[in-house]
């Protein structure tokens, strides 16, 4: 199972294939799914309402749960940096 995320043009330089991602499915409250980026579109999606460009990023889920259906709404967090031994605020 894969999730397609809209990536703002300003973050494209920071996101790459293989990066880990956390996915939160709206219909599965308090459930965090793990995945990784497998593809980033080379061409932005067209939106006639705005001049801002978004690129489709595909995140493959590592262990999709039962009940997950195509078309469900998700929030994707791509982990662009990891700090070893760092403090989180």
pLDDT tens figures, 31-55: 899 999 999 999 998 878 888 899 9
pLDDT category at 74 given cuts 50, 70, 90 is: very high
Q: How far apart, in Å, are the Cα atoms of 56 and each of 15, 48, 61, 83?
A: 12, 16, 16, 27
Find how far residue 45's CA is from the centre of its chain: 16
Distance CA 87, CA 69 (A): 36
Q: How far apart, in Å, are the Cα atoms of 45 and each of 4, 56, 80?
A: 12, 7, 22
Find how far residue 41's CA is from the centre of its chain: 13
Structure pTM? 0.83
């Amino acid at each position: 199972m894969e999730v397609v995320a809209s990536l703002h043009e300003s973050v494209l330089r920071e996101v790459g294939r293989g990066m880990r991602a956390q996915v939160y499915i709206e219909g599965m409250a308090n459930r965090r799914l793990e995945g990784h980026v497998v593809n980033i579109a080379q061409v932005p999606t067209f939106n006639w309402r705005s001049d801002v460009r978004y690129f489709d990023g595909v995140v493959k889920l590592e262990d999709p749960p039962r009940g997950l259906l195509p078309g469900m709404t998700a929030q994707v967090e791509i982990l662009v940096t990891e700090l070893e031994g760092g403090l989180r605020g």
